[in-house]
Structure 1
Amino acid sequence: MAESGGGDLSRRRWKRHIVRQLQQRDRAQKARFLDLVQAYNKLLEKSSLDELTVQLQSPSVDHQMGGPACSPNHVSASCVPAWDPAAVLTSLQSRQEASRLQLDTLVGELAYKVYEWNQLLRAKDANLEEQKSRLATLSCQLLGLESRRCQLQYQAEELSCRNSSQKDAYNSLQRRFREQDGAFRWALEEGQRLLQGILQRKVDWAQRQNDQIERVKQTQLARDLQEATKSILRVKVESEKVKVEEWKLASRNDPEEKKGGEKLWKRPFRSASATSISTTRCKDVVKGWFDFRLKRGNSVSSGSVDRYCCLPSCVAASLPSQVTDEQEAHISEINAIAFSPNSGVLATGGMDRLVKLWNVVGGRLEKMQSLDGASGSITGIEFDPTGSHILAATYNNAAQLWKVGAGQVKAILTGHTDKVTAAKFRSTWHQAVTGSKDRTVKEWDLVKGACSRTIQVLSYCNDVVCCNNVIVSGHHDQMIRFWDSRDRRCTQVIPMEGKVTSLSLSPDQLRLLSCSRDNALKVIDLRMHAVQQVLRADGFKCGSDGTKAVFSPDRSYALVGSVDGTLFLWNMATGNLEISLAGVHRSSVNAVAWGPSGVHIGSVDQCRKLVLWR
């Protein structure tokens, strides 16, 4: 109501101001015309008097009267003129007529000016009426807008109240979430601690049992050896003829005996070498028994761990010269590509949440299988050393494990709080490492599907590689960090000149290839932990934070894709650009892969294209 009263007061003031302006204009115009009319009347009176005075005082009149002109200061009886009244009247009439004509002309001019002023006044009046009507219209619009403003203000106040209430509810839920999350983390840590305790107790118990069994076996073995050394075996020597006859007879009549499902052959005699135990034979038996213990290697409580050596299968990689196949592999951008260890299968992953497998047959790509079930876009994929499993990193804060041929997700590795940018196997398919934008690197036990270690980093990770017991991670803060699995601290840091987008380990694990946003590839000697080579080329530009570069299988070349779709390949021996492949990709190349056999190269881009080179 106070605002409405203020608006009425403002409108009344505005109207009074307009009325005062109009009154002032009327007074000004009226005063101007009044002066004009008064001047005109005075001019008429003055012209009549001047005419009469000039007529009376003119020399021509004096001449007609026949006498000298009389001074106006000396009027006497002798100066009284004697004139002709008719002539004087005629002269006055002519002069009056001329004056009248002049006055008529002046009156016409003044009348025309009055007409012009009247027209201007009418135009001003019409403009005033138009302004009044416009003012009324605007006043109506102002009233409507004022009511709309009041309505919107009421709605804003209502929304503000609702927002404050929802914010309070959100804050309370946030507090509850933090409390529940803290309790959950505590329970998870307690469960991990209890599990580790149980496993440690189990390992200790198994070790004690193994030690006890070992002592019993060693005691039994020592007792058997002592008994064997005390007993004397007598061998009866027969003639060669008798032995040959007995052997022939045994060969004809020796039947098969079955005992426990196994075939046993009766021997006609036992030789001295088979029945006697010498000191050398005892040593061989003991050595063989201990060799068996060493080969077995694991206690009864620990699962067997198969480790695979990365033996190079390529002696000399062939340089790509032509395109053997092109496919529109996915329905959206492709981010990752990888060859299987035998180079017979190619895997691709993209924004459509699919991992597709392709058979490489005769330089052609044949669709093999689609692995669905991913909870987010694929950022990276890798085969395990046997080629039977695929590990993929996704945007949905997780990594997923598939078994090739099964089609179903075997394990989902959750625990990151931001998208996972890299997922790599260790030396076996039982262990893996992931890097994420949540500034952590995690080690995983794939048998249990649980995180075995979390490494906190100062910057989010773009890629990781694994080398024996060392994990190497490339980060957004232009750093490459080295982590030892046996030490929780960072063992080495190598600074780069741009954000690290990818890491590639040479097959001999002696050199590391990094790609960064300063449009350069750097080769790092892992023995010296220093940059050995810097590879640059005119036209090469890193397209994104996920651009991948790779070594060739024979460690002779480095390959990467550029933002304009060109593939650049450097010779590692000379450090010079060997070849550049342009004209096939029309958009930024996200990733490249070189088959372990050294024959084929695969590349994928942002426009869903998969290209196989040879």
Structure 2
Amino acid sequence: MAVGAPGCWRANISWQLRERDRNQKQRFQAIIISYNQLLEKSDFLQHWWGKRNPYFPYVSSPSPEPETRESQQQRYREEISKLQLINGELAQEVFELNKDDRRKEVELQATQNRLAELLDRLGELEAERQELRTRVADLEQANRTVKEEYDALQLQHQEQWQQLRTRELETSELIHNLLHLKAQEAQDLNNRIEKPLRAEQRSLQKDLAIASSMPISAKTETVHQGLVVPPQEVGQKGDRSFKLRWGTRSGSFGLPDQPKFLQSFKGFFRMRSSASCSEIDFGYSSVFYISRVPVRVRHSVSAHDGEVNAVKFSPNSKFLATGGSDTKVKLWDVVGGTLQNRKTLEGSNDGVTSIDFDSSGQQLLAGSYDNSARLWSLRDCELKHTLSGHSAKVTAAKFKFYFQEVVTGSHDRMIKTWDLNKLACVKSLPVPSRCSDIVCSDYCIISGHFDKKVRLWDSRSGSQTDVIALQEKVTSLDINQDRTQLLSCSRDDLLSVMDLRMNKVRKELRSEGFKCGADWTKAIFSPDGNYAVAGSSDGTLHVWDVLTGDVKASLSGEHRSSINAVSWSQSGEYLVSVDRGRVANLWTDY
């Protein structure tokens, strides 16, 4: 009968009953057979015993001898007892089997019910599985679509990144060319300015030579103040003379009356006077040179008896200073690409942590582990002042820009401003964390701290103006020449270039091999601000392009220990790096 036809359920029930009867019959078939055999034997014995026993209803044979009959009856009774005992055991076994069968039937019914429930659940799970397969197919299709869009965007990003790189390189090249043109224009302007001066000097020398070859007459005059030139006729050949009166003495000299000579003389002194004022106002040349990326060590020297912590070029790039843990500050002349020891400044009671020159290059300031900062005069290389007042080591000591003031930062969570005229602390700023480095810009003080923050302070009011958060503790700060960008080095092996006009990080400089070796590792800008340089813990010197963020050079093999500090000369020609192994290396690009 086909499935689904009328009466199919009856056939199914009948088939199930037959199967159950067959399974149960197979279980008890052997017991039933044995039981039937025993019943047959019992019937046979009863029939046979009836024939042999006259008292038994079925016994028809004559009684045997009394003795034999009794013994046989006894034996038969024993056999019957045994058979009855066996029959009772079998009946008990049958009862137990029936009981077990009923229990099995109950379990079978529960199992069938459970099976039906599981079949229903299986149907639900199959439906859910089919739905999930449909959803997976839809998600795979959507994922393929998203991946195609991502690949297209990635390709577009690579193209735009390449275009950006090309534009940045073009911009860098244009800036380089512009700086070169500016430098050339400045040189041409200097030549044009100096050309009339040289012509006037040559004319003056010629006129002086002519004047020195002519006769001079002098006589004492009445004392007057100032410079008077009254022309007179002297001599027999129409020579002219003029009188010079200055201070308490005066003389009258016979010189040729040539206006050109007087103009040259006045112009020469006017140019000299102008040059002297320029030197007094600025202290050093304001011409910025293009920095050149170093390629090799020109000279290496063991600078100190211990770890070298600080190094700084003078503003005129003629010499540099180094400070070490041996409590000394050493001055070095740069002569022909070599470092020659010039002088040793003594007076510190502990290791030197930082070095700074004033704008004229005539004073040197150094911070120390002995909780103070010291000021030396480079005219006579004598210690002039000791600035003490911190309760922990001074990690940074800097001259304040354009002012006769000094700013110091310390691990005692204080930033102090010192007046060099009064030789006293005029302002103290409490800070939330240990100070690692300081830079000064006009009326702003910028400090780096161990709590992963760079703080900007108004030096006039002493209030905090802004905070820039970084990822790890700050080890150093440096500011470029035009005071618009700040460079920080931190313990997460990262250099950050910050725009001080917006007070946020503009560029992050990374290098695969760069590892910040200490809490006082220094990183600096190049004089033109185009590059940043820092030393790694493995003794490798890394140079980055600030505009693009690319690593321009990774110079290794010269230092055998962690580089602590670097300094780039204002001329852009030399770079000096110092390390924990007492070594100072002078780098050049040739």
After superposition, give the CA deviation of every residue in 1:124-165 in whole Å (9 maximum; x if it has no partner). xxxxxxxxxxxxxxxxxxxxxxxxxxxxxxxxxxxxxxxxxx
Q: 1:590 aligns with which of 561, 564, 585?
A: 564
Report the equivalent of 2:453. Answer: 479
Q: How does 1:350-389 map to 2 (within 5 A)?
A: 350-389=324-363
Report the equivalent of 1:542. Answer: 516
Q: How does 1:424-463 map to 2 (within 5 A)?
A: 424-428=398-402, 430-463=404-437
Provide the aligned C-alpha RMSD in A. 2.4
Report the equivalent of 1:409. Answer: 383
Q: 1:558 aligns with which of 515, 518, 532?
A: 532
1:589 and 1:346 mapped to 2: Cα distance?
17
Q: How does 1:305-344 map to 2 (within 5 A)?
A: 308=282, 312-344=286-318
Instruction: Please tell me whether the aligned partners of residues 232 and 241 of structure 2 are also in contact (alpha carbons under 8 angstroms).
Output: no
Instruction: Please tell me whether the aligned partners of residues 394 and 410 of structure 2 are also in contact (alpha carbons under 8 angstroms).
Output: yes
User: Quick one: percent identity of the two aligned structures?
Assistant: 45
Deviation at 1:488? 2.0
Instruction: Please tell me whether the aligned partners of residues 365 and 398 of structure 2 are also in contact (alpha carbons under 8 angstroms).
Output: yes
Deviation at 1:608? 0.5
Is 1:390 aligned to 2:364, yes or no?
A: yes
Report the equivalent of 1:16. Answer: none
Report the equivalent of 1:159. Answer: none
**Number of residue-to-residue matches in the alignment:** 331
After superposition, give the CA deviation of every residue in 1:72-105 in whole Å (9 maximum; x if it has no partner). xxxxxxxxxxxxxxxxxxxxxxxxxxxxxxxxxx
Q: How does 1:143-162 map to 2 (within 5 A)?
A: none
Distance 1:253 1:486, change over 3 A: same
Q: Give secondary structure in 2 for the equivalent of 1:480.
A: strand
Report the equivalent of 1:179. Answer: none
Output the amino acid matched with 2:584: L
Q: 1:466 aligns with which of 423, 440, 449?
A: 440
Distance 1:259 1:307, change over 3 A: closer
Q: Give secondary structure in 2 for the equivalent of 1:537.
A: coil
2:244 and 2:430 mapped to 1: Cα distance?
68
Report the equivalent of 1:573. Answer: 547
1:595 and 1:254 mapped to 2: Cα distance?
54
2:367 and 2:562 mapped to 1: Cα distance?
21
Report the equivalent of 2:248. Answer: 261
Q: Normalized against structure 2, the TM-score is what?
A: 0.54
1:414 and 1:521 mapped to 2: Cα distance?
32
Distance 1:371 1:249, change over 3 A: closer
After superposition, give the CA deviation of every residue in 1:40-59 in whole Å (9 maximum; x if it has no partner). xxxxxxxxxxxxxxxxxxxx
Q: How does 1:72-91 map to 2 (within 5 A)?
A: none
After superposition, give the CA deviation of every residue in 1:441-460 in whole Å (9 maximum; x if it has no partner). 11111122111111111111
1:511 and 1:310 mapped to 2: Cα distance?
22
Instruction: Please tell me whether the aligned partners of residues 367 and 395 of structure 2 are also in contact (alpha carbons under 8 angstroms).
Output: yes
Instruction: Please tell me whether the aligned partners of residues 475 and 500 of structure 1 are also in contact (alpha carbons under 8 angstroms).
Output: yes
Query: Structure 2: which 5+ residue stretches go unaligned?
Result: 1-230, 254-276
Instruction: Please tell me whether the aligned partners of residues 372 and 389 of structure 2 are also in contact (alpha carbons under 8 angstroms).
Output: yes
1:255 and 1:517 mapped to 2: Cα distance?
76
After superposition, give the CA deviation of every residue in 1:326-359 in whole Å (9 maximum; x if it has no partner). 1111010000000001111011001000000110
Q: Give secondary structure in 2 for the equivalent of 1:522.
A: strand
Deviation at 1:315? 2.9
1:350 and 1:511 mapped to 2: Cα distance?
29
Q: 1:419 aligns with which of 393, 397, 404?
A: 393
Instruction: Please tell me whether the aligned partners of residues 511 and 526 of structure 1 are also in contact (alpha carbons under 8 angstroms).
Output: yes
Output the amino acid matched with 2:445: I
Instruction: Please tell me whether the aligned partners of residues 232 and 242 of structure 2 are also in contact (alpha carbons under 8 angstroms).
Output: no
Query: Structure 1: which 5+ residue stretches go unaligned?
Result: 1-245, 267-295, 297-305
Deviation at 1:384? 1.0
1:256 and 1:321 mapped to 2: Cα distance?
64
2:551 and 2:240 mapped to 1: Cα distance?
80
Distance 1:328 1:253, change over 3 A: closer
Deviation at 1:249? 7.9
Q: Give secondary structure in 2 for the equivalent of 1:512.
A: strand
Deviation at 1:580? 0.2
Report the equivalent of 1:533. Answer: 507
Output the amino acid matched with 1:455: L
1:427 and 1:471 mapped to 2: Cα distance?
10
Q: Give secondary structure in 1 for the equivalent of 2:381.
A: coil
After superposition, give the CA deviation of every residue in 1:355-397 in whole Å (9 maximum; x if it has no partner). 0011001110111000011122100001111111110000011
Distance 1:472 1:310, change over 3 A: farther
After superposition, give the CA deviation of every residue in 1:180-202 in whole Å (9 maximum; x if it has no partner). xxxxxxxxxxxxxxxxxxxxxxx
Deviation at 1:594? 0.6
Distance 1:447 1:580, change over 3 A: same
Instruction: Please tell me whether the aligned partners of residues 289 and 570 of structure 2 are also in contact (alpha carbons under 8 angstroms).
Output: no
Output the amino acid matched with 2:357: F
Distance 1:501 1:256, change over 3 A: same
Q: Normalized against structure 1, the TM-score is what?
A: 0.51
1:337 and 1:469 mapped to 2: Cα distance?
26
1:509 and 1:255 mapped to 2: Cα distance?
55
Is 1:612 aligned to 2:562, yes or no?
A: no
Instruction: Please tell me whether the aligned partners of residues 312 and 507 of structure 1 are also in contact (alpha carbons under 8 angstroms).
Output: no
2:432 and 2:441 mapped to 1: Cα distance?
22
1:583 and 1:605 mapped to 2: Cα distance?
13
2:530 and 2:244 mapped to 1: Cα distance?
63
Instruction: Please tell me whether the aligned partners of residues 463 and 501 of structure 1 are also in contact (alpha carbons under 8 angstroms).
Output: yes
Deviation at 1:408? 2.1
1:553 and 1:254 mapped to 2: Cα distance?
56
Q: Give secondary structure in 2 for the equivalent of 1:473.
A: strand
Output the amino acid matched with 1:492: D
Distance 1:408 1:577, change over 3 A: same
Instruction: Please tell me whether the aligned partners of residues 233 and 241 of structure 2 are also in contact (alpha carbons under 8 angstroms).
Output: no
Deviation at 1:484? 1.1
Output the amino acid matched with 2:323: G
Distance 1:348 1:257, change over 3 A: closer
Output the amino acid matched with 1:528: M
1:350 and 1:449 mapped to 2: Cα distance?
25
Report the equivalent of 1:499. Answer: 473
Deviation at 1:313? 3.5
Deviation at 1:310? 8.2
